[in-house]
Every structure is written in C-alpha cells, then in structure tokens.
Amino acid sequence: MCQLQTVKHTVPADKTLASMSPRELKGMLPEELEHVAASIDLEPYRGRQIAQWIYGYGVRSFDAMTNLSKAHRRMLSERATILSLDEAEVVTDPSGQATKYLFELSDGRRVESVLMAEGDRRTLCVSSQVGCPLDCTFCATGKMGLIRNLTAGEIVDQVVVARRHLGEVGEDLTNVVLMGMGEPLLNLPEVSRAIRIMNLDYGPAISRRRITLSTAGHVPGIEELTRNGPHVMLAVSLNATTDAFRNKIMPINRRWSISVLLEAVKGYQRAFGRYVTFEYVLLAGQNDSVEHARALVDLIRDIPCKVNVIPWNPIDGEAFGRPSEQRIEAFVETIAAAQMTAIVRYSKGTDITAGCGQLYQASPGVERR
C-alpha cells in the first residue's frame, strides 16, 4: 500500500517578493506562491490562483492572470518573472508518434524532451540535467558529461509546453517519464519539487502512478525516495546480469553493485507496494542470449516487477549492435516462460534521434567524449 509521507515545507525568505531583485515563480510550490501573494498584500489563496495560471493554464505573462487586479498584475510583473523555455526546435517523426523538443535555456544550454503518442496515452520523456555524469556506454547523453542540474521550473516547463501543444489539438498529457537527459536521483531536490508541481490537481494533474522516475542505480537516491518520497513509479536501468559486464557498460555499478542495487529496489517496492520496472537495453552478442534472460529472471524473480526490453538504438561512435528479431523474441519468451512480464519497447522517434539513449545536445564549450 502506498504510504505517502507528509513533508513539511518551510518557505525560504527569498521566495517572497520582499527584495527588489525579480524572483522566478516557475518552480515555486503553492505554499511559496501564497507567500509571494501575501508580500504584495494579496490574500494567501491568490497564490494558488497564480499557481493555476502558471502550471495549469501555462500562461507566460502576468497580463493573462485576469482574476487579479491590474494593479497587482503590474506589481507582480515588476517584481517577478515566469520562466518559459525557448523552443529552439520541434521535430515530429514521419509516423507522427514522437515529437522531439529542443529547448534552449537562459544560459544557452540545451536539453531535449520527447512526446510520444500511443493509443490514448500521451507520454512526455522529461530531462532532469543538462548532460549526465554517469557515462553509460550505450547512451549519447552520457558522452556530454554533466553540465548542470535543471531547476524545478525548467523541469516543469517541459511539461507545461507539451500540454500547451497537446491542448491545441484537443488532447492532454497523461504520463510523464523522467528518462530524458540526466540521472534524476542526482538532482532529487529539484526533481521532487517538480513532481509535486506536476501532481497539482489545478496544475498538470499527473498522478504519481503516471509519473515514472528512471534511475541508472543511484542507491542513496533510491533510499532517500523510499524514506521521503515522492513515491512515483520506479524504473531501474539494469541492462546486465553480472557485475563484470555492468561495470563495463554502466560505471555507476562499480560504486553500487547489482546485489546492493536490488536490495535498495526491494526496499522501495515494499514501501510503495507497486511493481518496479526493469529496463534492459539489448546489445547484440553482449547481453541478449537466452542464458542472459534466465540469469535476469534469477536476479529479479522475487521482486514484483515487469521488464522493458529495449533493443539498442544506434548512436554515433559506439560499436554496439542491435540484436536480430529472433534473438529479441527468444529473450522475451524466456522471461515470459518464468511467468514474468516482459515487453519489447521499440523506441519511438529513432528517425529523429529521439529514441532511448539517443538524446544529445552540443553545449557551448563542451566536447563530445
């Protein structure tokens, strides 16, 4: 059973508009926006109205906040800003099922999000960092190294932009996966804040069961999630059945081995009570045999889970291969024969390099490794 914990949030003094320098509102929690409202002599509930404008309706200017007086809108515009990511490029793949957004941040850095359509589902794959320090060998983002963490406002605005675009065609976002650029657990304070905002019923209203956080296996982060939440769906990028191979393709495994990682995952699963997803990128001839599938089953059979099998998506400069359809099928059938759920996930958007592991953006002063 889900045991959501109540976390008390105190409001830092600099989250109000008391000082003269403009404050960024996107990324603030409703209680912080209440303080902002109070600091310009508005009733605290007006803070929630501001949250609804920013996160629910996605407005980019204070003029649009028509339930506030003109005088208060002017006061806000003189003292605060509303972050709005610059959509440098928006590309939709030929099938129309994947749209890649390239966002330019205020410091010129760039991140990507991918919106995927499948049946009634509209899922946004969100980035949490510019680049990533974990250097998984099969992933383009890892070649960038870590440039910086995204703020909660920058994470949430990816959702706000996608909802705005979907709204134009009468649709809405149903799911969020934190599987874009970066390791979300290395930016947990901002990611947690962003998840709380995505959750707001007068905001994006994405329930925690429709938000999936994907980790490469940052054990302290998983333990922190277990203790304090947010208890969203957890996905673990496993990709190997031995430490020797995982050490090779995911350097994080040298710090936290498979057994240590799986203990932490079990703890989270017990606390939250929902199944966990294991992601397994299939690399031809490396981790894709029937024996590998059996070894995988042995590792995870006592964890309520499903396995997402992801045939590797090519990236420049890496010598991996994509397995044949027969090998993919045999791998999945072996897991299914053990009464476990395995689904092949053919990444959407590979034509526009928006597939899993393909997100990469050159940033000023950063060389591809």
Interface contacts to ligand SF4, rule CB under 6 A: 132, 134-136, 139, 141-142, 181-183, 216, 237, 357
Q: Which residue is nearest to ligand SF4 (CB)?
A: 142
Minimum gap (Å) between residue 125 Cβ and ligand SF4: 11
Question: Nearest CA to 186 among 167, 153, 213?
Answer: 213
User: Closest approach of Cβ 132 to ligand SF4, in Å?
Assistant: 3
The smaller minimum CB distance to ligand SF4, of residues 187 and 226, is found at: 187
Q: How far is it, in rounded angstroms, from Cα 244 to Cα 324?
A: 24
Annotation says 112 is catalytic:
yes
Minimum gap (Å) between residue 109 Cβ and ligand SF4:
15
User: Helix (H, G, I), strand (E, B), or coil: what is residue 235?
Assistant: strand
Q: Tokens 């009570």 identify what position? A: 273
The residue from 125, 132, 305, 356 that is catalytic is: 356
Distance of closest approach, residue 312 Cβ to ligand SF4, in angstroms: 12
Q: Which residue number, 56 or 145, has a Cβ lying nearer to ligand SF4?
A: 145
Complex with ligand SF4: residue 135 or 157, whichever CB lies closer: 135
Computed on alpha carbons and rounded to an integer, the radius of gyration of the chain in Å comes to 21
User: Which CB, 50 or 211, lies closer to ligand SF4?
Assistant: 211
| Structure tokens given for 180 | 């874009």
> C-beta of 359: minimal distance to ligand SF4 in Å?
8
> Toward ligand SF4, which CB reaches closer, 192 or 237?
237
* Residue of 32, 34, 112, 154 with catalytic role: 112
Say if residues 138 and 320 touch (Cβ distance below 8 Å).
yes
Nearer to ligand SF4, 24 or 224 (CB): 224
Answer yes or no: are the C-beta atoms of 97 and 349 closer than 8 Å. Answer: yes
Least distance from C-beta 321 to ligand SF4, angstroms? 18
Is 325 catalytic? The answer is no
Q: Do you know the residue count of the chain?
A: 369
Which is nearest to 349 in space by CA: 93, 127, 128, 79? Answer: 93
Contact 356, 281 (CB under 8 A): yes
Alpha helices in the chain (DSSP H): 30-39, 45-51, 70-79, 152-168, 188-199, 219-228, 243-249, 258-272, 290-300, 325-337
Q: Is 58:38 a contact under the CB 8 Å cutoff? A: no
Q: How many helices (H) and strands (E) does the chain have?
A: 10, 14
Q: Please identify every residue annotated as catalytic.
A: 112, 356
